[in-house]
Amino acid sequence: MRDVTFESQISEQMNANVSAAQVQDDAPPVNQPMRYRIRHKTTCTYTDEIQHAQHTLHLNPRVLPRQTFTRNVITVDPPPARLVEHVDYFGNPITYLALETAHRKLLVQVDFEVEVAPSPDGDLASTPAWETIRDAIKAPGDMAAKDANIYAFASTMIPPLPGLAEYAAPSFTPGRPIGEAAFDLVERIHAEFVFDSVATTIATPLVEVLTNRRGVCQDFAQFAIGCLRGLGLSARYVSGYLRTVPPPGQKRLVGADATHAWLSVWCGGDLWLDFDPTNGTRGSTDMVTLAWGRDYDDVSPMRGVLIGGGSQDLTVEVDVEPLPATP
């Protein structure tokens, strides 16, 4: 019996290093919501027959105040003997599959439409001082702080490292607003780290990312989260999709998008701000949220326990298609 994280580094390596200019050049006005059709297809072939398999999927979008979806279809071949949808500890929708038909190939495809409204986050300079938020996390009786508290500690893939707080320090000067400081940290990571799709795998320790300063979106998000937690702040890992804009004169390639990762920082009360260190940008209607947790291990898009199978070959196709605005 094997525990396999199917969509490990492959989906992350597919993610293009889209510059902030590419994300923004063709973006709608900031006050305009965006609608998307998203198709995510995972195909896994095995050298030996699978006798039995169980899978958990984080492939349905979260329902949020500024994100809703109207249609969601999941296709599984071979058909599962059991399919159950529920919510995990972090409030993410999760799908459980039990496959009892022998097979050498597994197809999982999710097709949904989602609408993302602009963020009302406002001016980063108006957020509280970061030390105020650090101290608030420990406040007894504050339910918002209690919810944020679980994202302030080390996790499986983001252990405490001395160099993390040291790297964050230049951004978090005394009294600086937390939103402003977090964005400065994200911009520094974008400027100083190199996107390299072959430099890391899902198992690469965070200390190597700190040392080599190379990796993909998952690495950069987890590094930024580690920096914030090193200062006593709460930050969560967010998995989702990013709308990309093709180069001038070229058509959008169907199936060439990918899953993406960024982070969300607690700024007091119900305010969480999204930041993307891969592109040095803030949260926007270009980003569709699937799930969040302490790190990648909490929100792996597809994970399975198999009996049989031998070696495997995995392919992932993702298409993020902008749709006309709702009338």
What is the CATH number for 54? Answer: 2.60.40.2250
| Residue (of 168, 71, 148) closest to 110 by Cα position | 71
User: Is residue 277 a contact partner of residue 213, using CB atoms and an 8 Å limit?
Assistant: no
Q: What is the mean pLDDT of the chain?
A: 88
Residue 177 within a domain? yes
The residue segments making up the domain with residue 80 are: 2-111+300-323
C-alpha 244/C-alpha 260 separation (Å) is 11
Residue 37 within a domain? yes
Q: Are residues 287 and 304 in the same domain?
A: no
Q: Are residues 201 and 93 in the same domain?
A: no
Alpha helices of 200-317 — where are they, by DSSP H?
206-212, 217-230
- Position 21 scores a pLDDT of 36
Q: Are residues 10 and 53 in the same domain?
A: yes
Would you say residue 120 has pLDDT above 70?
yes
pLDDT in tens, 137-190: 988 778 889 999 999 999 999 999 989 999 999 999 999 999 999 999 999 999
Confidence of residue 19 (pLDDT cuts 50, 70, 90): very low
- Report the range of poorest mean pLDDT among 70-74, 126-130, 153-157, 300-304: 70-74
- Report the range of poorest mean pLDDT among 14-18, 208-212, 225-229: 14-18
- Burial class from Cβ neighbours inside 10 Å (0-12, 13-18, 19+) for residue 254 reads exposed
Residue 85 within a domain? yes
Residue 117 within a domain? no
Residues contacting residue 285 through CB under 8 Å, at least 6 positions apart: 27, 28, 32, 33, 34, 116, 117, 118
Angle, in degrees to the nearest 10, between helices 217-230 and 178-192? 140
- Report the range of poorest mean pLDDT among 10-14, 54-58, 68-72, 230-234: 10-14
- Burial class from Cβ neighbours inside 10 Å (0-12, 13-18, 19+) for residue 233 reads buried
Residue 261 within a domain? yes
Residue 45 within a domain? yes
Would you say residue 129 has pLDDT above 80?
yes
Per the DSSP assignment, residues forming a β-bridge with 50 are 103, 308
Q: Are residues 306 and 266 in the same domain?
A: no
Would you say residue 15 has pLDDT above 70?
no
Mean pLDDT, range 69-88, rounded to an integer: 93
Would you say residue 253 has pLDDT above 90?
no
C-alpha 291/C-alpha 297 separation (Å) is 11
Would you say residue 136 has pLDDT above 80?
yes
- Position 278 scores a pLDDT of 94
Would you say residue 27 has pLDDT above 90?
no
Q: Are residues 78 and 180 in the same domain?
A: no
Would you say residue 252 has pLDDT above 80?
no
How far apart, in Å, are the Cα atoms of 247 and each of 14, 22, 100, 255, 274?
Answer: 17, 8, 45, 16, 25
Residue 34 within a domain? yes
Q: Are residues 94 and 7 in the same domain?
A: yes
Q: Are residues 269 and 143 in the same domain?
A: yes
Confidence of residue 254 (pLDDT cuts 50, 70, 90): low
- Position 309 scores a pLDDT of 78
Q: Are residues 267 and 151 in the same domain?
A: yes
- Position 106 scores a pLDDT of 96
Confidence of residue 237 (pLDDT cuts 50, 70, 90): very high
pLDDT in tens, 37-76: 999 999 999 999 999 999 999 999 999 999 998 888 999 9
Q: Are residues 180 and 275 in the same domain?
A: yes
Q: Are residues 259 and 178 in the same domain?
A: yes
- Position 8 scores a pLDDT of 39
Q: Which residue has the tokens 């938020």?
A: 133
Q: Are residues 104 and 141 in the same domain?
A: no
C-alpha 118/C-alpha 34 separation (Å) is 8
The whole-model pTM stands at: 0.89
Would you say residue 121 has pLDDT above 90?
no
Of residues 241 and 25, which shows the higher confidence score? 241
Report the domain count for the chain: 2
Mean pLDDT, range 230-237, rounded to an integer: 98
- Position 72 scores a pLDDT of 86
The number of helix segments (H) and strand segments (E) in the chain equals: 8, 15
Residue 116 within a domain? no
Q: Are residues 156 and 265 in the same domain?
A: yes
